[in-house]
Amino acid sequence: MPAPVDRVWEVVSDVDSEPRYYPGLNSVRNISRNGNVIEREVTVGFRDSRGKQTVMLNPKRSVEVIMKEGVMTGTRTVTLTPLDGGTRIDISWDIEVPGVPALFRGNVKNRIAKGTEEALDRIARAAQ
């Protein structure tokens, strides 16, 4: 994306605004904050399922979300790489979906991939 890393960091580190970017993430409610570590509850999906997460902010490098309870468990990491004339954003997922039958996991993976693409587009627009 053509925006400088400082501007992109402003957008991705505002984790309270993540529902604007990630489809299916309905709301976030912070429980506590200690420096760059945030404990929060989230509501996701059309059934408004609740989950607990830890968010770790690594300034101007990455935002790591550790999903501890809920529909998904695992991590989502947003990594920033400064480039000449812009910033590269990578979003990686390492998750499990307990309670979802194996037959439907491919569908979940496809929805996450599509939602991630939408999030990248929305983040890029916000950073311009």
User: Helix (H, G, I), strand (E, B), or coil: what is residue 53?
Assistant: strand
53-64: per-residue pLDDT in tens?
A: 999 999 999 999
| Residue whose entry in the numeric block shows the structure tokens 């529909």 | 71
Q: 102 or 34: which carries more pLDDT confidence?
A: 34
6-43: per-residue pLDDT in tens?
A: 999 999 999 999 999 999 899 999 999 999 999 999 99
Q: What does the block give as tokens for 95? A: 């998750």
55 alpha-carbon distance from chain centroid: 9
Q: Could you tell me the domains of the chain?
A: 5-127 (3.30.530.20)
The proportion of the chain whose per-residue pLDDT surpasses 90, expressed as a percent, equals 78
The pLDDT mean for the chain works out to 93
Q: What is the pLDDT of residue 108?
A: 85
Q: What is the pLDDT of residue 14?
A: 96
pTM of the predicted structure, to 2 decimals: 0.91
C-alpha torsion angle, residues 101, 74, 15, 80 (rounded to 10): -120
